[in-house]
Chains A and B, each alone.
Chain A
Amino acid sequence: MEDQLLCCEVDSIRRAYQDVNLLNDRVLHTMLKAEENYLPSANYFKCVQKEIVPKMRKIVATWMLEVCEEQKCEEEVFPLAMNYLDRFLSVEATRKTRLQLLGATCMFLASKMKETVPLTAEKLCIYTDNSVQPGELLRMELLVLNKLKWDLASVTPHDFIEHFLSKLKIYPSTKQILRKHAQTFVALCATDVNFIASPPSMVAAGSVVAAVQGLYLKSQDASLSSQNLTNFLSQVIRSDPDCLRSCQEQIESLLESSLRQAQQHSSTTETKRVDEDVDLSCTPTDVRDINI
């Protein structure tokens, strides 16, 4: 067994297996309690920032997602980095010209938190087209850490997805696809300003419901019908079903508008495959492509 495990690890990055013992209600409840401590303030654009507007957050988020995908970062790195970014912007007025430095720094930190081989300062600076220098990034890192009070163990929607999936009666293969889709939705939500103050558990639950809907899984099991699933997950996250439903709808409309945008983008650049969406993810986001 041990040998087998080692064999698997030789040529790839070493990473921990998911510990199934942690997929229990005690852990889930602790996470639900903890997530509030890591919520950015909803209206920092109005209350804290003078130069930075929602559109700029979208720009920097899109760039960050692109870098994370190109560097094949672990899925949770991007949402975690966005959480750092939002928390920093909630407390510190920042210049527009330094937003990219902040974004790079947040990826730097999130990558160190989650990855076996983290992104380097030098590489991140290359991605800023060398508009930022490694020395600046390292000093910014210290500043960000200080402003976040060195508390980087944010709870993200990713942490919840696995808990929710473990509660659904689905085949492992379905679970894989579902996870992938839910993760893509989570990343999509992280780029959108409307979800800044949504609790991660809500975003995760909304993403899972949206993914189940998109994949037409309700035909497999009555418990996966939109209504039942929404009721069930809203109980799990101790929230109102209507809240969760509106979150899910918000996610679906966000997906739709992003796909439309991507379609326009790809038609102008004559890209063949629409689902290889530059804006979002290399994951096919048009869910029906996968289903059939």
Chain B
Amino acid sequence: MSDVRLSNGSPTLERTDPRVSDHPKPSACRSLFGSVDHEELKRDLKGHLREMDDAASAKWGFDFANHKPLAHGRLDWELVDCRDLPDFYSRQPRREKGVCSAGNNNVDLNGNHNCVVVAPSEDIERSDGQMECTEQCTGMRKRPACHDPSAQSKRSHTSSEEVSCPSLSHSAEHTPRKTSPKRQT
């Protein structure tokens, strides 16, 4: 069996070195088509992202910026306690130490730069779904109950109020439900 697994020689087996070049060769670092107009780019990207937000809003009948269902949406939205949801909606992303090697200061594995996500600089004021989600997740992560082992078995504990949820109104999630549920059987 082991023979089979090794003999097929996955192409990647040839490349066993971890990523080495932390310092890019200067020759490869080049600007190809002249300078970028950052102001214009920012404006255009903002416009695109707003369009995407609007499209998402229309699709889901939900105002993601303000966390409210739209008045005449196709879907009925229902408030759900965050503790009733599987914990992967709120738990902290797993971060492995050794993987994030030197030279990646402030950048997580997805390449998210700290200051980009956190800094409330004027070009982040756009509150799209992604940013909103980040904020909300952080909000929920701060909830002490989430680190409490009892929170793991929260389904059985939903009625007991010893699991305090200080920002209940914030962490409550809306869940879409079709107006005509077809779950008859």
Contacts and interface: CB of A to CB of B under 8 A. Distances in A.
Interface of A: 1, 4, 11-13, 15, 17-18, 20, 23, 56, 59-60, 63, 66-67, 70-72, 74-75, 96-101, 108, 112, 116-124, 126-129, 131-140, 142-143, 146, 162, 166, 172, 175-176, 179-180, 183
A222 B122 CA distance: 68
Contacts of A56: 33
Interface of B: 2, 4-5, 7-12, 14-21, 24-25, 28-38, 41-42, 45-46, 48-49, 52, 99, 101, 103-104, 106-107, 109-113, 116, 123-124, 128, 130
Contacts of A172: 7, 9
A74 B5 contact: no
A130 to B, nearest CB: 8
Given A72-B19, A129-B30, A162-B11, A134 B49 contact: no
Contacts of B104: 120, 122-123
B42 A136 contact: yes
Given A12-B16, A97-B35, A99-B33, 19 more contacts: A18-B11, A20-B8, A67-B28, A72-B15, A120-B107, A122-B104, A122-B106, A122-B113, A123-B107, A128-B29, A131-B36, A135-B116, A136-B38, A138-B112, A138-B116, A143-B45, A162-B8, A176-B9, A176-B14
11 contacts: A13-B16, A20-B5, A63-B32, A70-B25, A72-B21, A74-B12, A97-B33, A112-B111, A129-B30, A139-B49, A175-B9
A108 B111 contact: yes
